Structure 1
């Protein structure tokens, strides 16, 4: 990824050459010229085609090199085998950027991949930035730059707006552009990145962060090849206060396979992407409808730290109940109406429902003032982080419209920090008017509550920017393969993770002496880097107490290793105290090929892989994020003390998890994976302790 300044002449060019220019309507070399001329592009347009003298009323050139002066952007609309030659024909230094529509490169086969690399090499030598190949190009709507062959704008132009849209799929992008037009959503920018031989989604995001016309970024992703660039782009957007809404496909194995075959992208592990978006403040949408609903809503209200509580005012008790159910699903609190407001409402409408949802009934149609007064009174209490208002078809009423407009004006004037969602059937012009006044408008009340649920009370603590010293701050013994349990526990201890006290006994006498010193039942395990699954060979003995029992256990463990793993190098027998007063959890690390070390947390036990009640974060992170990670699991209720059990020491567990994340990042070049199973969260105040661990070095 490079600085956004290098992309200015790509996305805001002063001159454009179209290679493969055509007079035939609908051809890829005809559409951009037609759009540029029709929409009033102010720069120079240079058709390029050796077979034509004039294209769409403009003089045509045989090659780019025949054009006088420099060219900011070349649109390449010729077959793949001619694309490189088209760039080579430009004079050195003449051409700044190229958009390559053509398919048939890395997304197809090895030959295509080789040709794409050759294209990249040429562009690198010439200092040419590339968008594509295999892309639909881009549109800079405020500047009337239509560098695309998509037919979507030919049937209607999207108005200029606040949303910049980036997509790796051209087909999705064309459909999304059409959906934006149908919904009346304005765009500042639209770009399809295709194979991303040079400019990728992260580059486009970074450019949009700096673009004064863009306030919200919407992105469709199939994969990522530069994880650090994407992190930086998401960080920049969040710090600039520009919300990012992402649809990422490949959530299932089948979806990931489809993404890989559609473009030359890595679909990656979906749980890792989920962690990325959560940590860097992006909103993840799981459907086209949610994608646009969130994007449009955030272009009106940017989201923030408003409390996760909702006030609902409705003219229909049934719809109010529907909205309340959705609020419960979204974990939004519904504070009841204060008693003085209840009395005041019932004095005006004796048959109103004065709870929350507040049902003002159809009486509000004949007395619109009661609706506005109730809404204002609720917000004056300060108990509600947002207000959702259901008006049914009243939005189409000529007599009621002035009151609805005044309601929006009053609420926004007195409580501009509180999001207001109006749910009603409204003509397009009235919907736009309410949106201009800062209201989110929905036809489906459930959509309104879901959107508020996704945006309210989001606290994003961006991961600290790791300094350079962390890269080499943790060394491990050189070599390859798996460390023994004892060596693995020592690594954790050095990293600040509390581990169970233990020794490795090499004789029955040593084992007995240590067990006696413990003053408690012992756990005994065979120690060998060659035996990672000790239980499978009978290599574990628990609750061992007394000299005879310890000596017998020691010998039994050595015999089991000799019988079931005769080639294994055995270091001895680990002797440690039994820890039984706590909740067993699991935490671990694996290296993602795109985003680096990823930390996992979940409840321990044999069913962890079946229940999949685990959560992930990208390393490193602090104890606050670790605690949020722990509490996000369904099993967190057990840690907080369920069915009369004492609450576990969650703070100590969070400290250990944060320490593991620092270790994972610091040793990312030498450690491949870490499994800590179990780590026991003891009762509050007694800390947490890792009882078993496996650390694997990178080959």
Structure 2
């Protein structure tokens, strides 16, 4: 069967709800404006041509006129910022809706609202939905933008720098952390979504696709409320050339004991989310340090265009530490070409054996050797990224910080007119001197903090690329209606399913009793395997007898197992691979591949991807699985790829199949043969 038959239709677009009034409102009204909240009010109206204040007292605030009600406003604002208590919010939202306002930022209605909180929230959302109005919140911090105009209930620091990175955070404290990270990254806006009443992360993400000022996006996710809409928004961002860096908390593996198939134990919910993000064009990170450094990289005017890393450091030890941190990420340290080595040694004879990463400490005057070495490295065109591993910190002395500034200037100059990304990484995570930070921000040099977080962020961003969805021809579904039934299917039926999809299986027979088993063995030819025709994972309960060479051995094994047995041809020993599929309840089907046998459930020895997968994706997946490349020939590699494609197609064709395993797939000189198969179908709900 040709792999060309595994073409799949592009995913359908999902309807998204309008959020323009939340992302970029032309005019705003602060309802509940009062002197006690003067700092928040001042921030909300700063820099806005059209901003109105409403409070029943009508008392002037900050020298601004205050209207006693929304109905008195001279025109209809696009967005209302609700600084009111839970006792009156419903009625005031109603008045605003009747006046024509269709976007609301509602920071309240959290625990401070007491036991009626949920009831009031439900009423507000129902009312807003009846007008097709958008709500940011409730129970959120709001929306913050640099240089005034934030609808945000906490203070907005002056160091909150303007740029082109937008952040959507389901955690208010993480939103606050973005505002308070100092003069780095460069933000278009930060959105705290709170309880996501009637607009969620997916809606805001889709809204940012069309926001010209947003070039990259950070997501801090606690829950994905609508996976299909979230996937569609991720794809749309990727197609628009806007990378999305996603960090999710609350990740947990699916308990292995609840899964009947090995793959269910192998692929937990955290891996499901990872595959989900990657499959739809996003970048996933797993800690806040890497999250921040990735946003710092994406906040620059240009981004890394490849994975070839050239580095210079003030320490041989730090060179080693940098190399150790980078190796697992996929970043490459290409060796210095002869011409570059010669140029470095000609300019600085004290370079005895220059290599990448380059230890330049004490080779010459620091303010000279670092910038000039960086220029020579950039001129060689061997690197996509130039990284200076230098401990820049405000706590260093003035003399040291002068040469630190010289290095940053050297990086900026060396990469100015080249497609090379300049960055500095430090061992520690303290702030740099303001002078150096301002120069770096103005000249496109990323100041990264923490060696490991820096290289992980560089790798994550470097390996991202925009993509375009392609419409692919649908394939014909294989009919399995006569084989599928709720629960775990027998090995015999599971194997027949795989055969219908073109997977070579070991020849086998079902036999009732010793006499029939002996006859089956004689037809197949010795040696044979006799298995219980029952539970999943028969080997773990002593239900498999291997290497049976005679009729007597077959009869004894069959008698011991009792009842129906499966007699199968024994396949010659060879490298073993497991291929499987499991259906995550939130993110959908996932295919996985790894070294089989006793290593089958070692998570580090598997690679997985959300289904469906294309042929090229299956090839990359098999290559990514640790250890498999060393076990395969061209024929057996293709056989593994084909098996992954079958499982992907099986998942798409038959949604009732929730798990499937081929374990092991034994690799031989002329291809691969599956020895054991398991298919599990969804249980019918109890009536």
**Same fold at TM > 0.5:** yes
Match of 1:500 in 2: 506
Spell out the pairing of 1:132-531 with structure 2 (5 A cutoff).
132-141=137-146, 144-151=148-155, 153=156, 155-156=157-158, 158-179=160-181, 182-252=182-252, 269-300=269-300, 303=303, 306=306, 308-353=307-352, 354-365=354-365, 368=368, 371-372=370-371, 374-390=373-389, 405=409, 408-413=412-417, 416-422=418-424, 427-442=433-448, 448-458=454-464, 476-477=481-482, 479-506=485-512, 508=514, 510-528=516-534, 531=535
What's the TM-score, normalizing by structure 1? 0.81
Residues 291 and 457 in structure 2, CA contact (< 8 A), matched pair in contact too: no
- Shift, 1:96, TM fit: 0.8
**Structure with more contact order per residue of length (Cα contacts < 8 Å, sep ≥ 6):** 2
* Secondary structure at the counterpart of residue 557 of structure 2: helix
Match of 2:107 in 1: 101
Hey, what's the Cα distance between the residues in 2 that align with 1:611 and 1:406? 43
Residues 18 and 77 in structure 1, CA contact (< 8 A), matched pair in contact too: yes
Hey, what's the Cα distance between the residues in 1 that align with 2:513 and 2:387? 72
Spell out the pairing of 1:55-94 with structure 2 (5 A cutoff).
55-61=61-67, 63-65=69-71, 67=73, 69-90=75-96, 92=98, 94=100
Change beyond 3 A, Cα 1:406–1:611 = closer
Residues 137 and 193 in structure 2, CA contact (< 8 A), matched pair in contact too: yes
Change beyond 3 A, Cα 1:315–1:402 = closer
Stretches of structure 1 that go unaligned for 5 or more consecutive residues are: 255-267, 560-571
Deviations 1:405-460 (A, max 9, x none): 366334332xx222222458964344443444443334666655444333334578
Match of 1:33 in 2: 41
Hey, what's the Cα distance between the residues in 2 that align with 1:491 and 1:114? 51
Residues 579 and 665 in structure 2, CA contact (< 8 A), matched pair in contact too: no
Change beyond 3 A, Cα 1:156–1:426 = closer
Match of 2:129 in 1: 124
Bigger shift: 688-697 or 194-203? 688-697
Change beyond 3 A, Cα 1:130–1:498 = farther
Change beyond 3 A, Cα 1:386–1:681 = farther
- Shift, 1:664, TM fit: 1.1
RMSD: 3.8
- Shift, 1:237, TM fit: 1.8
Change beyond 3 A, Cα 1:171–1:376 = closer
- Shift, 1:591, TM fit: 2.7
From 10, 23, 37, the counterpart of 2:35 = 23
Deviations 1:294-317 (A, max 9, x none): 1111222654551x3322234544
Hey, what's the Cα distance between the residues in 2 that align with 1:402 and 1:536? 65
- Shift, 1:97, TM fit: 1.4
- Shift, 1:191, TM fit: 0.5
Deviations 1:45-90 (A, max 9, x none): 141x445555555454555455454342222333335333322234
Hey, what's the Cα distance between the residues in 2 that align with 1:113 and 1:498? 57
Stretches of structure 2 that go unaligned for 5 or more consecutive residues are: 1-12, 255-267, 393-397
From 562, 574, 584, the counterpart of 2:576 = 584
User: 2:55 matched to 1:13?
Assistant: no
Residues 463 and 620 in structure 1, CA contact (< 8 A), matched pair in contact too: no
Residues 206 and 236 in structure 2, CA contact (< 8 A), matched pair in contact too: yes
Hey, what's the Cα distance between the residues in 2 that align with 1:59 and 1:374? 61
- Shift, 1:132, TM fit: 1.2
- Shift, 1:540, TM fit: 2.8
Residues 485 and 681 in structure 2, CA contact (< 8 A), matched pair in contact too: no
Residues 480 and 497 in structure 2, CA contact (< 8 A), matched pair in contact too: no
Residues 384 and 419 in structure 2, CA contact (< 8 A), matched pair in contact too: no
Hey, what's the Cα distance between the residues in 1 that align with 2:196 and 2:91? 20
Change beyond 3 A, Cα 1:337–1:688 = same
Change beyond 3 A, Cα 1:91–1:339 = closer
Hey, what's the Cα distance between the residues in 1 that align with 2:113 and 2:508? 54
User: 2:651 matched to 1:664?
Assistant: yes
- Shift, 1:164, TM fit: 0.6
Deviations 1:328-375 (A, max 9, x none): 45454433333344344334433214222334443542783x655544
Hey, what's the Cα distance between the residues in 1 that align with 2:629 and 2:323? 29
Hey, what's the Cα distance between the residues in 1 that align with 2:650 and 2:644? 10
* Secondary structure at the counterpart of residue 89 of structure 1: helix
* Secondary structure at the counterpart of residue 416 of structure 2: helix
Hey, what's the Cα distance between the residues in 1 that align with 2:468 and 2:574? 32
* Secondary structure at the counterpart of residue 419 of structure 2: coil
Hey, what's the Cα distance between the residues in 1 that align with 2:679 and 2:402? 71
Count residues in correspondence. Answer: 648
Hey, what's the Cα distance between the residues in 1 that align with 2:145 and 2:472? 35
